[in-house]
Homo-oligomer: A and B are copies of this chain.
Amino acid sequence: MNPVLSAPASSAAATAWTGRYQAVRQQTEALCAPLLPEDTVVQPMLDVSPPKWHLAHTTWFFETFLLKEYGAGYQVFHPDYAYLFNSYYNSLGSRVNRADRGTISRPPLADVLAYRAYVDQAMAGLLAQAEELPAAFAEVMELGLQHEQQHQELLATDIKYILSTSPLAPAYLSEPSKGKSEELTERQGIADYNVQQLPSTLPEARFLPVPGGIYRIGFQERGFCFDNELAVHEVLLAPFELQNRLVTNGEYLAFMEAGGYRDFRYWMGEGWDLAQREGWEAPLYWVKQPEGWFRFTHHGLQPLSLAAPVTHISFYEADAYANWAGARLPTEQEWEAAARYFGAGTRGGTWVESQRFDPQPLPASADPASCHQLLGDCWEWTYSAYHAYPGYQRAAGALGEYNGKFMVNQLVLRGGSCATPESHARISYRNFFHADKRWQFTGIRLARSVNR
């Protein structure tokens, strides 16, 4: 981990840390507020962690890497929590198997919240003297905040999965805890979801040309990034075209209705086999009802918005769709080069809307000659394996396990989703999942080679 930092260096710095720390920590708890204690224990599949575990694990991160390191005289909250809430750091000793996180009925949610309060109090003390701490402190402090924000996105998607597999499929943001949800709504500006307001028209899909040439890839901005974005390097790209917006549910439905799930020619072999074995006929969370297609969302079962971006698809489905559409997925280098070329600097004002945890349609008024929805709508599958950039070095110590050991067998996704904290939606960010995963907010952007 070699994050690039402009570290705060004064009592203003301490204040800044304190404010950010509190904001991040409160946001995590706000995400869990609509849950009942029972919801926070369940692990319906290996990829999904119980929310209680997320709450504790992010806390363990601060305790382990900051308080035990820099907090003079700090006493751990509970000697067993390191065993319970270490995620995957072999450097830090044995731990509960990932597959067994659903057995952690104790400590109860109340104890985990007490753990959070205890660590928050100790952190408040530590941050008060942040200016006296070595530079390394700031690096890890920044990482702790970023790490917790990553878990906020996982919380959002794991909660969705947990509720969807609960036989009653309760909604996250309405019943049965209406009161709490309304509170959250007001506090965070989550308006009531209204599918009737979806636009009936969309800007036409258009392929926008990107010139060939040498592009610099990797984090080139100011502020924080993860180590996997570092090692800026140049790549040579042939000219190509990128579509101006994400593929919509309506377009994906056309693929389905054209028999896309029944025609092996569009599919990678392993994807085809998996789709047959699992009986895939639509994206995850889609449910066919007599009156049409619905999707399970954080707001319960909702009618499908044809104009909204398709999401909850695997790489295999994204790739098959692209083949059917006569296009392909971009590489991560193409995506990043294009994003810079089109000036997709920020997600802008759309993010709060997306906080509904449901990617929204592009407004009908959007200019089809511009490139839209690059940041903060859906994670866009690229056709690039998640490998180390040339020159990448794993950090020493436990934090060297943060990213490096995952750099094989997965694919890169770019752009951030409607569940991604805003400060994580940046051009150089590299998210990564296996080709079969569908529980994240994943989507499709088409690319095309230019025939020369």
Q: State A265–B402 Cα separation when bound (angstroms).
A: 12
B167 and A39 contact, CB distance less than 8 A: no
Minimum Cβ distance to chain B for residue A36 (Å): 4
Chain A 41-85 interface residues, beta-carbon cutoff 8 Å to B: 41-42, 44, 52, 80, 83-84
Q: Is the CB of A168 closer than 8 A to any CB of chain B?
A: yes
A233-B238, A315-B408 known; A269+B88 contact, CB < 8 A: yes
Question: A300: shortest Cβ distance to chain B, in Å?
Answer: 12
Contact bitstring A105-118, B, C-beta under 8 A = 1, else 0: 11111010000000
What residues on B are CB-neighbors of A83 within 8 Å? 167
Residue of chain B at shortest CB distance from A411:
B408
A84 adjacent to B408 (CB under 8 Å): no
Task: Say whether, besides A268-B408, A272-B405, A383-B387, A167 and B84 are in contact (CB < 8 Å).
Answer: yes
Q: In the complex, what residue of chain B is closest to A109 when comparing beta carbons?
A: B38
In the assembled complex, 24 residue pairs joining A and B whose CB atoms fall closer than 8 Å, in A order, are: A37-B38, A38-B52, A39-B106, A84-B167, A90-B272, A100-B165, A103-B162, A104-B167, A105-B166, A106-B163, A106-B166, A106-B168, A106-B170, A107-B176, A233-B238, A234-B238, A236-B236, A238-B390, A268-B405, A269-B401, A270-B408, A385-B387, A391-B449, A408-B411
A36 engages B435 (CB within 8 Å): no
In chain A, residues 231-261, which have Cβ atoms closer than 8 Å to a Cβ of chain B?
233-236, 238
| A31: Cβ under 8 A from any B Cβ | no
**Do B103 and A165 touch (CB < 8 A)?**
yes
Closest to A88 in B: B269
User: Given the known A-B contacts A103-B44, A408-B435, are A80 and B236 also in contact in the complex, defined by CB atoms under 8 Å?
Assistant: no
A168-189 CB contacts (< 8 Å) to partner B: 168, 170, 176
Residue A267 lies at the interface, judged by CB distance under 8 Å to chain B = yes
Structural contact, A38 and B108, CB atoms closer than 8 A = yes
Contact of A264 with B by CB under 8 A? yes
Contacts of A391 in B (CB 8 A): 238, 449
Taking each of A38, A41, A236, A383, which has the highest tally of chain B beta carbons within 10 Å of its own beta carbon? A38
- A36 touching B39 in the complex, CB below 8 Å, given contacts A269-B406, A387-B383, A387-B385: no
Chain B residues whose C-beta falls within 8 Å of the C-beta of A305 in the assembled complex: none
CA–CA, A384 and B107, complex, Å: 43
- Chain B residues contacting A407 (CB-CB under 8 Å) are 268
A265 and B167 contacting across the interface, CB-CB below 8 Å: no
